[in-house]
Amino acid sequence: MIKISPSILSADFANLERDIQRISTADYVHVDVMDGLFVPNISIGLPVVESIRPTTSLPLDVHLMIDRPIRYVERFCDAGADIVTIHVEADTEENTLKALGLIHGKGKKAGVVVKPKTPAEAVLPFLKQCDIILVMTVEPGFGGQSFMADMMPKVKAIRGYIDAENPACELEVDGGIGPETAKVAVENGANVLVAGSSVYKAADIPGRIAQLRG
């Protein structure tokens, strides 16, 4: 089954509870955390995760675009994250493995993320430790960018690794997902679709979520 994880980066932050209720037919709530260092933007952090936790029963899918996430993963779990993903580019292999262990130690799902320029093979040292792998289909930092179709060979390659070595692992894509690009991503093996602007700009949000799910 295809899962939809709307990104609240495109929500109205002055009406966050309302905008989270509006995506109640989705599967996850995607929360983009940016530190102004790993990516050239600053978004939201721990207090916001804590505040939105009681507003929804959906799992919080927290995408950490922060440098050396090992410093913060346990606190995001305590704040209410159900899934925590960390970038392979953000620290050493050793620390990334340790951070995945810390997330699992809190009883939460853990995964790694790869930026567009990072090759598929970069996920291999972490594959057995991952509940989810996230492939960026835009440069992280901003919503509303165009889908990079040239990431599809990477999605397909990682789908191959997952099927061979850790079939329970989910494969998520993030950036520029709309009704057309969703199909392309799914054809190439993705099963979790993050969508920010295409969900929040839709006149009929539940309709758009159903359309993306296909």
| Residue 82 known to be catalytic | no
Residues in contact with ligand DX5 by CB under 6 A are 7, 9-10, 30, 32, 63, 138, 140-145, 174-177, 194-198
Using CB under 5 A as the binding rule, whether residue 32 contacts Zn ion is answered as: yes
**Whole-number minimum distance, CB 211 to Zn ion, in Å?**
20
143 binds, among ligand DX5, Zn ion, none (CB under 5 to 8 A by kind): ligand DX5
**Should residue 35 be labelled a site residue for Zn ion when binding is judged by CB under 5 A?**
no
- Interface residue with Zn ion among 76, 96, 174, 176 (CB under 5 A) is 174
Give least dist CB 50 to ligand DX5, A.
20
Q: How far is the CB of 141 from ligand DX5 (least distance, A)?
A: 5
Q: Min. distance of Cβ 136 from ligand DX5 in angstroms?
A: 7
Q: 184: burial class by Cβ within 10 Å (0-12, 13-18, 19+)?
A: middle
Name the catalytic one among 27, 32, 61, 91.
32
Among candidate residues 19, 27, 91, 174, the one labeled active-site is 174
Considering beta carbons, is residue 69 or 175 the nearer one to ligand DX5? Answer: 175
174 part of the active site: yes
Active site residues: 32, 174
